[in-house]
Amino acid sequence: MYKVMVIDDDIPMLKYIKQAVNWNEIGLEVVFESSSSIQALEALSEIQPDILLTDIGIPGIDGIELARRVKKKNEQVRITFLTCHEDFSYAKKAIKLEADDYILKEELTPKVLKESLLKMISNLDQNQNSTPDNIIDRHNYARRIFVDKLQEGSEDINLCFKKMNVSWDLPDYKIIIGYLPVSNSIISDYYALLESFYKHLSDFLYENDQVEVFINNDHLICIYNYKDNIKVQIESQIKKLLEAAAGYCYSMNHTRCSFLLVKDKLNLNNLSETYRDIINHRERYFYSIPKQIQVVSVSKESAFIPLGNLIESEEYTLFKYVELKDEDNIKTCINRIKKIIYSNQIEPNDVLSALLTIVIKLELNLITDNKVDCFTKALKLCWTMEEVLAIFQDKVIQMTIEGESQLSIKNKIKGIQDIDSYIALHLSENISSIDMANHLHFNPSYFSRYFKRLTGHTFTDYSYRYKMTAACRFLVDSDQPVEEIALKVGFNERTYFTKVFKKYIGQTPGQYRKRGNN
């Protein structure tokens, strides 16, 4: 049974998570839960969790930093981030950290949580089976070790070649990165298609003693061994080889592939450094014209400018057209955004963060099964801005077609009075959406969607607003101490009550009481 650590400074959310799924039924045990990331780190060595489920916006050490430290202790730990609409600035960091999942709290239904947990369980099971004797990858263990050494910058690369029975005596090397251009049609099957690409490319190059092919995460690595010769146009020679290889791979699985050919002449001493530079700075090549074979240099310096508010007005216009379900104008608006991005050579990471933010905002305002996590995964796979903007447009169109606006839903559904009455009767309790669902005889997953449609808020957010409004009345109409008022609205700690009160009211309880009495 895998061990789970759950961290969130929102106490009702911790309670909700514990109630949302049958943990033992899916082979999990919550061994540690806390509202403090510091407590989590102190317990880490003793607990040794397999899964970390953490809020991003935790005071002190935030969820991103917590995840980094947990990963440093154990690279195999699976991580899911929880976030709310105020956490857009963390979107870029979450993408880079390569977490298993990134879930909006507004969409954290029991079904969504269970699906995320099952995905992490599957990843843990695969990791357990990835041993030298039972490798799940198509390439053998020695090749996997080579890729690891290449990423780490190890000096043992030549030794790895020998273990793979690769006898390369020539002094010079080229690196080629192979990948599949991303589109919405292949995202769900990307890794299976990449595995197929790897197999067919390896088959095609099998008899070429100068080339070795490796697979690593979302791309292929080709190492080409040669001796520099002024009489041989090595770059043209390699391009012809890659063109033939791409044609062969397409004939086998009808999937197009692309290559980045690094034109720098390399040796064993800078092979790893060059590879890591390419992978860690792939944004350098975002504005390259998409080609089947792109010749690049690691020495290229790119001068990008910050995004700032350059697309702010277009973002507002886009939301309006989505509300109207006007697909033609949506495409026109996105095309204007594209021109702004290209003409100004905007910092690629700023673009990724901005587009992800737009999609998250749309998801908050639309009821749709078209989840943002698929879009997040797709962004991580992109090598060009052309790919990024194409999948962004497809995503927005899909959400527009499938989604329903809050305004239209509010006109259809009634029942808020019953919910208000229940909160009022249980004002001093920590009511979760599952408690409310049980009261209304709703399925918890359905209730979460129902409530979001009805009010435009999550139940937790709505409940807090209700409680803070009640607290305001108590502060003005009575002389009760703040601690007692906090207890009356379901908060055992004054500090946490003050934090929530200030978030929703804009001032502390003491400040509000003083102003109200004046």
**CATH code assigned at 111:** 3.40.50.2300
- Is residue 198 domain-shared with residue 118, that is, in the same domain? no
Among the candidates 348, 375, 404, a domain finishes at 404
Q: Average pLDDT in the 14-18 region?
A: 90
Q: Average pLDDT in the 178-204 region?
A: 88
Percent of the chain residues past pLDDT 70, beyond the cut: 86
Q: What is the pLDDT of residue 102?
A: 81
In a domain, 154, yes or no: yes
One-letter identity of residue 248: Y
- Token code pair at residue 305: 């400018």
Q: Which of 48, 123, 47, 38 is nearest to 80 (CA)?
A: 123
Q: Over 50: is that where the pLDDT of 136 sits? A: no
Q: What is the pLDDT of residue 138?
A: 38
Q: Over 80: is that where the pLDDT of 455 sits? A: no
What's the rounded Cα separation, in Å, for the pair 70 and 124? 15
Q: What is the pLDDT of residue 410?
A: 47
Q: Average pLDDT in the 321-335 region?
A: 91
Q: Over 80: is that where the pLDDT of 292 sits? A: yes
- Is residue 162 domain-shared with residue 107, that is, in the same domain? no
In a domain, 316, yes or no: yes
Long-range contacts, stretch 121-124, CB < 8 angstroms, 24+ apart: 121/2, 121/26, 121/27, 121/28, 123/78, 124/2, 124/50, 124/51, 124/76, 124/78
Q: Which of 217, 95, 224 is nearest to 147 (CA)?
A: 217
Among the candidates 271, 296, 321, a domain finishes at 296
Q: What is the pLDDT of residue 366?
A: 67
In a domain, 136, yes or no: no
Give the range among 96-110, 128-142, 166-180 with minimum mean pLDDT: 128-142
In a domain, 304, yes or no: no
Q: What is the pLDDT of residue 5?
A: 94
Compute the mean pLDDT over every residue in the chain, rounded to the nearest whole number. Answer: 83
What's the rounded Cα separation, in Å, for the pair 24 and 117? 12
pLDDT band at 237, cuts 50/70/90?
A: very high
- Is residue 112 domain-shared with residue 168, that is, in the same domain? no
Q: Which residue has better confidence, 485 or 57?
A: 485
pLDDT band at 408, cuts 50/70/90?
A: low
Q: Are 13 and 460 in contact (CB under 8 A)?
A: yes
Q: Over 80: is that where the pLDDT of 412 sits? A: no
pTM of this structure: 0.54
DSSP of 314-351: HHHHHHHHHHHT-HHHHHHHHHHHHHHHHHHTB-HHHH
In a domain, 134, yes or no: no
- Is residue 77 domain-shared with residue 11, that is, in the same domain? yes
CA angle 456, 337, 355 (to 5 degrees): 45
In a domain, 70, yes or no: yes
What's the rounded Cα separation, in Å, for the pair 117 and 139? 28
Give the range among 84-93, 94-103, 492-501 with minimum mean pLDDT: 84-93
Q: What is the pLDDT of residue 220?
A: 94
- Is residue 316 domain-shared with residue 241, that is, in the same domain? no
The residue range of the domain holding 382 is: 312-404
- Is residue 185 domain-shared with residue 292, that is, in the same domain? yes
Counted domains in the chain: 4
Q: Average pLDDT in the 468-477 region?
A: 90
- Is residue 288 domain-shared with residue 343, that is, in the same domain? no
- Is residue 181 domain-shared with residue 213, that is, in the same domain? yes
Among the candidates 296, 320, 335, a domain finishes at 296
Q: Which residue has better confidence, 134 or 327?
A: 327
**CATH code assigned at 476:** 1.10.10.60
- Is residue 285 domain-shared with residue 385, that is, in the same domain? no
In a domain, 135, yes or no: no
